[in-house]
Amino acid sequence: MNALAKPPASKIQPKGIFQTSVGKKIIIAITGIFLIGFVFGHMLGHLQMFAGADKYNSYAKMLKDLGPLLWIIRLALLALFVIHIKYTIQVTVENRKARPVPYYNQKTQVASLASRTMIVSGIIIVTFVIYHLLHFTMHVTHPEYANMTDSQGRVNVYAMMISAFQTPLLLVSYLVAVGLLCFHLSHGIFSVLQTLGLNHPKIDKKVKLTSQALSAFLFIGYASVPIAIFFKVIQ
């Protein structure tokens, strides 16, 4: 038998769509949509702090009463995070390998700072999310929170928030993390629409402005609560 003979065409396995650059970008876009939806939903829940302790603790109890379903949702979100970051790193590495020699004139690059720092900002965001869970959900960093209950015996998440954001270091850390998240999304939202073919060169500028406006809206929404707590608007 000729060792150089080609295998039958029927045995040649084509490269799976999700192993291609385009397929990986689709995965990044789809996971990004779910994560963006979560970010908006979480912000709306977060803003209930302005409605007072009873409203916010009722919201927290509603989530806790989901029981095992809540942990399924959390694990699903974690899986989405991991998949999103994994494929983002892969696509970035592949793009760099495809162009090992950098541009002679860096000014010719049209990529924004947000797009060029997606991996770094993403990793910092995930690190903060882990700390956020250890802080408010698992009470690892602040075990005293486990004993905080309100007059109705509910976990007093409202009091936890008040306690946490009276600390300048935590306030600044939170604002930096949220700022990076929104900076990440200022490109991410545009990128999702671009990958799914929902934009057009004629409206690129409008789509970018919309992405930036939504990101700014998110930052204001998330930042307003800890700032209001720190300056005792919420107390």
| Domain residue spans of the chain | 20-100+111-230
pLDDT at 75 over 80: yes
Residue with tokens 């494929």: 87
Residue with tokens 């029927």: 10
Percent of the chain exceeding pLDDT 70 equals: 83
Give me the pLDDT at residue 1, please.
47
Instruction: Give CA separation, 168 vs 60, 175, 227, in Å.
Output: 25, 11, 10
Give me the pLDDT at residue 114, please.
62
d(CA 186, CA 163): 31
Give me the pLDDT at residue 224, please.
96
Q: What tens digit of pLDDT does each residue of 25-50 get?
A: 888 889 988 988 999 999 999 999 99
Confidence grade of residue 201 (pLDDT, cut at 50, 70, 90):
confident
Q: Does domain 20-100+111-230 have CATH number 3.40.50.11890?
A: no
d(CA 182, CA 138): 25
